[in-house]
Amino acid sequence: MKRAAFDEVARTADLFLNVSGGCMLPENLSSSCLKVFLDTDPGYNQIMLSERLSWSEYVERWCASVAAHDLHFTYAENINGDDCRIPTMGYDWKTTRMPIVMDLWDPVARTRPAEEAPWTTVMTWNPFKGRLLYKGIEYKSKGSEFDKLIELPRRAGMRLKVAVGGVKAPLERLAAEGWQVLDGPRATVTPGQYQEFIAGSRGELSPAKHVYVVLRSGWFSERSACYLASGRPVVLQDTGFAAAIPVGQGIVPFTAADEAAAAIGEIEGDYARHARAARAIAGEYFGSDAVLSRLIRDVLSGNRRTLPGQQNRTD
């Protein structure tokens, strides 16, 4: 886009949505344009706002940018829960979740995976660039939680596959423990390849980042939402997301490796029921029309809101 065309978009915009502060604030935004910061990395972002850790490049500029937004939304759906330990840093965090365009996943959802298809996930192994310390406690990335599952294929006798990218991933150890290991970027570099990878999966088995788990964030992965939209059940490490999203059918949380193995066995015992539940949850809780319409209404009204699906919850 030419700069003049972009300036015109900025000048006439009602809402500027900044995903985890990945963009600089445009210079020519209208004074009436609402600037919304969307936190997709809960716990990490708030700790960085608190501690301003020097190993994070441009941290002061990023923190100033967060403060310059009018409203702050987060994927930490449990941020208002009594057990959530994310520091709010004085911001009024409102919750939202990732939108999924359900129609784009219809072809996958109509095709049932082969019984011998593996349970899979896609991940980046990268540790943080430095120690993520808050009040004397170090919070880690995903690799430390994956270590708890690394022996699962050998112990449970199930086919497990991981498409992994990043640095310092223990690829040889993963393979030795029975994981089928693919190069993550090469296997999922295009939307088509990403969808094909999920289509070839029986379901998703995945840990979460240590910081999400320990702080009881309620974070739920957009990747997992794509599995759900495909009618693929998911077995996910518990971050507290059951406070906002139904679990037990289609989504089964776990806290330890033996629970993960048991969850896969439970799903395989009635796969069709869990697959239907997965697809239904995706449509009701993650459908883009409802999620984005609600987000825009919440931004423009400034009111707290009920996310799609929550108005029918009674538990």
- Indicate the helix (H) or strand (E) that contains 36: strand 34-39
315 residues of the chain, pLDDT tens digit each: 999 999 999 999 999 999 999 999 998 999 899 999 999 999 999 999 999 999 999 999 999 999 999 999 999 999 999 999 999 999 999 999 999 999 999 999 999 999 999 999 999 988 899 999 999 999 999 999 999 999 999 887 789 999 999 888 899 999 999 999 999 999 999 999 999 999 999 999 999 999 999 999 999 999 999 999 999 999 999 999 999 999 999 999 999 999 999 999 999 999 999 999 999 999 999 999 999 999 999 998 864 434 455 444 333
The Cα–Cα gap between 301 and 279 comes to 31
- Indicate the helix (H) or strand (E) that contains 180: strand 180-183
Residue 89: which region, alpha, beta or left (left: phi > 0; alpha: psi -120 to 50)? left
User: Cβ neighbours of residue 148 under 8 Å, at least 6 residues apart?
Assistant: 207, 256, 257
- Please name each of the domains of the chain with its CATH number: 3-98+288-312 (no CATH), 102-285 (3.40.50.2000)
The Cα–Cα gap between 205 and 164 comes to 13
DSSP 8-class letter at 32: T
The Cα–Cα gap between 99 and 308 comes to 11
The pLDDT assigned to 300 comes to 86
What's the Cα-to-Cα distance from 165 to each of 124, 188, 265, 313, rounded to whole Å?
Answer: 5, 10, 28, 37
The bridge status of strand 160-165 relative to strand 132-134 is unpaired
* Other C-beta atoms lying within 10 Å of the C-beta of residue 187: 18
Backbone dihedral angles phi then psi of residue 143, each to the nearest 5 degrees: -60, -40
- Please measure the distance between the N-terminal and C-terminal CA atoms of the chain and give it in whole angstroms: 48
SS3 206: strand
Side-chain-facing half-sphere of 62: CA atoms under 13 Å: 19
Instruction: Quote the distance between the C-alpha of residue 15 and its chain's center.
Output: 23
Model pTM above 0.85: yes
The Cα–Cα gap between 42 and 265 comes to 31
